[in-house]
Amino acid sequence: MLDVSQQSVAYLQPVMITAAIVCALLAAGLLIWYLLRRPPLDWRTKILLLCGLGVLPIGTAMMGNAATFKHTQERAFCGSCHVMGPYLEDSSDPTSLSLAARHGRNEYFGKQNCYACHQDYGMYGTVMTKVGGMRHVWEYYTEYHAYTLDQAREKIHLRDPFTNANCTGCHSMNNPGWRGQPDHAQLLDELLDAKVSCLGAGCHGPSHPFSKDPVPPPSAEDAGGAR
């Protein structure tokens, strides 16, 4: 019954998703029983309906949220809207030298690299960012869906400027190797106060070179300032 393909949440979180579906089936059983039998509203019916309308569906929603939350961090999920295709392709290309792709190779978060760098907004985290992620999907289906890839590259940009905290959450700025790097050393105070961006020409930008390039395709020359 479960579709256990590589893309399915059931593949990633089998136990949680199975439990969520079992809750849903039990709840559905109770509700169908109520609809067909039309029992009077005595205390027994109230308790059964409390399970069918309250406890069990809440269980489904909570376990489902927990499981799908993981799934939405996957690069493949980000790339499933076609306008993100080139980003997905670039990050999955083992020869790409873009900064994003170079963050897509380690075992720890390589498969969730979009999330790793873009997690302060969008699809992730708290209720607020969940709402933000819904906006992305809404905008996709109302607007970007019809875009060609060229239009998408031209029109889709970050809503808020990228903050250094998105990089420094991992790159702590505290290690000797990092501090010894001449540009870092020279700008240390500004970097620690986030007055100077990690991105930009001569530093670590752009992360997705092809998205800034008026002419396709993504070239391997722009290494995004690897140091």
Partner 1 sequence: MKVGFPSQEKALRAASVAALVALALMVWSFLDPSPLAMVVAMSVGQGLGTLSLLLFLGVVAVDIVRNRGSKPE
What distance in Å separates the CA atoms of residue 60 and residue 41, rounded to the nearest whole number? 25
Assign 99 to helix, strand or coil.
helix
What distance in Å separates the CA atoms of residue 210 and residue 24, rounded to the nearest whole number? 45
With vertex at residue 89, the alpha carbon angle to CA 83 and CA 91, rounded to the nearest 5 degrees, is 110
What distance in Å separates the CA atoms of residue 144 and residue 81, rounded to the nearest whole number? 9
Rank residues 105 and 145 by Cβ distance to ligand HEC and give the closer one. Answer: 105
Taking CB under 6 A as the rule, does residue 204 contact ligand HEC? yes
Taking CB under 6 A as the rule, does residue 211 contact ligand HEC? yes
Choose among partner 1, ligand HEC, none what residue 226 binds, the Cβ cut-off being 5 to 8 Å by kind. Answer: ligand HEC
Rank residues 14 and 133 by Cβ distance to ligand HEC and give the closer one. Answer: 133
Task: Provide the minimum distance between the beta carbon of 164 and ligand HEC in the complex, in angstroms, as a whole number.
Answer: 8
Tokens standing for residue 21: 């579906």
Choose among ligand HEC, partner 1, none what residue 96 binds, the Cβ cut-off being 5 to 8 Å by kind. Answer: none
Taking CB under 6 A as the rule, does residue 9 contact ligand HEC? no
What distance in Å separates the CA atoms of residue 104 and residue 209, rounded to the nearest whole number? 15
| Cα 139 off chain centre by | 16
Task: Provide the minimum distance between the beta carbon of 59 and ligand HEC in the complex, in angstroms, as a whole number.
Answer: 32
| Cα 215 off chain centre by | 28
Choice from 10, 103, 144, 218 touching ligand HEC (CB under 6 A) = 103
The residues binding ligand HEC (CB under 6 A) are: 75, 78, 84, 87-88, 91, 99-100, 102-103, 105-106, 109, 113-114, 116-118, 156-158, 162, 166-167, 169-171, 198-199, 204-208, 211-212, 226-227
